[in-house]
Structure 1
Amino acid sequence: MEKNEKMKKEEDVKDEGKKLTIEDIPGVGEATAEKLRENGLDDIMAIATASPKDVSELTGIGEGSVAKIISAARKIADIGNFETGEEIFQKRKDVLRLTTGSNNLDSLLGGGLETQSITEFFGEFGSGKTQIMHQLAVNCTMPEEKGGFNSDVLIIDTENTFRPERIIQMSKYRELDSDEVLRRIHVARAYNSHHQILLGEKASEMAKEYNAKLLIVDSLTSHFRSEYMGRGSLSERQQLLNRHMHDLLRFGTLQNAVIAVTNQVAARPDVFFGDPTAPIGGNIVGHTATFRIYLRKGKAGKRIARLIDSPYLPEGEAVIQVSEDGIIDGT
């Protein structure tokens, strides 16, 4: 009898047109729902894509019970199953693209930065990483017909590099109301790696409140690099960085948002030919980032942006200009 009631409940919550809540998940009562909501797990998809261990640690609910709740949520959300290529292609039609401000760079990226993906910009100091982040923040507030999302922006600032004065300059060039643009950009300063991870976890709540379609982390690895030094702490650093990046990717998927991160580089003493620099974070960052852009300085304010990794786009380069007006095409 109990099994039949459970199956009936699972069928009922799948009815079209019904607004589903986490109470519709089998095994979730009022008390459990309250614990989940208190920790930011306030919709079925968020629970379906969560880790049982993480949810258990956050809520204090036993890991076995959490595993059953997540399993039920996945059935309702219809995730975790095999899909045909045609079905995935149809879902890809929901992907949006955000302009960078440069036609050259947009073309290199197949039309701009994709939602549901992490785009990493890495390079040496002064290569233009933070300038591009400021430009993306401005562009996100623009109307859709101009390549924007007409939405708010979330920025996790780890190095105190956000400058509202730069936003004002870029907004005026794009003929935008700079005061309105600044009101739509929400910045949180991350003081250490654990604070940075917490801000990444809380981003979903902020996105719902402000309808944010862009999450920027500038920079991704600086705290991890300074706090976990030496080979003895490498494993712990990579585990935390892996968790953080998957939180960011999950945010992008759930919110259909762009994730843009900057990364630092380090010299490789074993390289004698070619470029001796490599992005921080190793395989963890390399495998999780969907698109990787290497920035290097050119002459007269120009920057060379090289696409070195993408699931489907070929490697290539674009010339951009970092000017007082923002990011524009290089000539």
Structure 2
Amino acid sequence: MSETLLEDLDHVGPATAQKLIDAGFSTVEAIAVSSPAELATAADIGESTAAKIILAARKAADIGGFETGDVVMERRKLVGKLSTGCKEFNDIMGGGIDSQAITEVYGEFGSGKTQLGHQLAVNVQLPQEKGGLNGSVIMIDTENTFRPERIKQMVDGLSELYGEDYDYEEFLKHIHVARAYNSNHQILLVDAASELANQLKDSDKPVRLLIVDSLTAHFRAEYIGRGTLADRQQKLNKHLHDIQRFGDLNNAVVLVTNQVMSKPDAFFGDPTKPIGGHILGHTSTFRLYMRKSKGDKRIVKLVDAPNLPDAEAVISVTTAGLRDP
């Protein structure tokens, strides 16, 4: 990452730099990937000035131009793989859940979406040789589903699994949870997450996982009826792009959970489909569908991925966490 200071950019004086930092644009990279309108509104400057600042930031951060496939391939080597704790699940994901990508999990209530979030919040803190990314977690909780007691059970499960004495309180210290009370608050929390990630960037546990559970609950509750659909989708689209940018800038895994709606007119196949429409479908890099099976078993289906075939895995949700059945 570039070490250029904001004041070093063309058209940025100390006052403008402070406005940008206050608005959450504290790094050159964050400015480089924003739009002129966004920057102009946030920092109270003209759009043409904002465009010039963004251009200068792109040059300084060395992003935004064309690059050859071999350079992209080299950068892809930086992508981390986060283990789910289940071999079959990891296999269908090509070895684990990718960083720098949005992984969306949808399913009915009780299908295990939140359980997966809790398990990843534990696993990400492990060293890489144990399938982790040696990082901390930011969780945006919209439905009050985060349970520290569940983290304790899963950490105890890891202690049994590896025969090591893990301290659950240490794990809890690296999980930063914020409760989102409405969709506007949820959107603002992504900015707050970027600031926190920036503070922890040089610590021994940088932020390597962002969880939004659930992404769509507030949008679904607040935008009712077809008349509000365009507004909702526009807002959701921007929110998703902010989340994707967070994943890219921090080389973090992004997990978002989504609710489903029932299609009573579906005579064949599964009558449940995810909400959020095409915008969510296109912006998510990986789409997973979770559904209940017998007992503690859950079926995870990879519905969409840019480089992997559709596949299914069976996992068990146990007291000790997600396990192979």
For the aligned pair, the TM-score class normalised by the smaller chain equals over 0.9
1:180 aligns with 2:170: yes
SS in 1 for 2:24: coil
Structure 1: distance between partners of 2:120 and 2:137: 9
Distance 1:18 1:68, change over 3 A: closer
1:3 counterpart residue number: none
1:326 counterpart residue number: 321
2:163 counterpart residue number: none
SS in 1 for 2:103: strand
SS in 1 for 2:144: coil
**140-149 or 119-128, which deviates more:** 140-149
List 4+ stretches of structure 1 deviating above 6 A. none
Q: Give the aligned residue type for 2:278.
A: N
Query: Which ranges of structure 1 fall in alignment gaps of 5 or more residues?
Result: 1-16
Q: 1:166-177 residue pairs with structure 2 within 5 A?
A: 166-175=150-159, 176-177=166-167
Q: How far 1:80 moved relative to its partner?
A: 2.0
* 1:127 counterpart (107, 111, 118): 111
2:222 counterpart residue number: 227
1:39-98 CA deviation, whole Å, 9 max, x = no partner? 111111100001111111111111111111111211222222221111110110110111
Q: Give the aligned residue type for 2:67.
A: E
CA contact (8 A) 2:211 2:254 kept: yes
1:91 counterpart residue number: 75
Distance 1:85 1:304, change over 3 A: same
* 1:294 counterpart (289, 293, 308): 289
Structure 2: distance between partners of 1:238 and 1:228: 10
1:59 counterpart residue number: 43
* 1:77 counterpart (36, 43, 61): 61
Structure 1: distance between partners of 2:169 and 2:64: 43
1:22 counterpart residue number: 6
Structure 1: distance between partners of 2:213 and 2:281: 17
Structure 2: distance between partners of 1:290 and 1:18: 26
Q: Give the aligned residue type for 1:274.
A: G
Q: Give the aligned residue type for 1:135.
A: Q
CA contact (8 A) 2:2 2:61 kept: no
1:115 aligns with 2:86: no
**319-328 or 206-215, which deviates more:** 206-215
1:237-262 CA deviation, whole Å, 9 max, x = no partner? 00010011000000000000000011
Q: CA RMSD in A?
A: 1.2
* 2:146 counterpart (146, 162, 181): 162
Q: How far 1:19 moved relative to its partner?
A: 3.4
SS in 2 for 1:201: helix
Q: How far 1:209 moved relative to its partner?
A: 2.1
Query: Which ranges of structure 2 fall in alignment gaps of 5 or more residues?
Result: 160-165, 201-205
1:147 counterpart residue number: 131
1:242 counterpart residue number: 237
**160-169 or 140-149, which deviates more:** 140-149
* 1:35 counterpart (8, 19, 36): 19
1:125-151 CA deviation, whole Å, 9 max, x = no partner? 110000000000011111221111221
Structure 2: distance between partners of 1:209 and 1:18: 16
SS in 1 for 2:4: coil
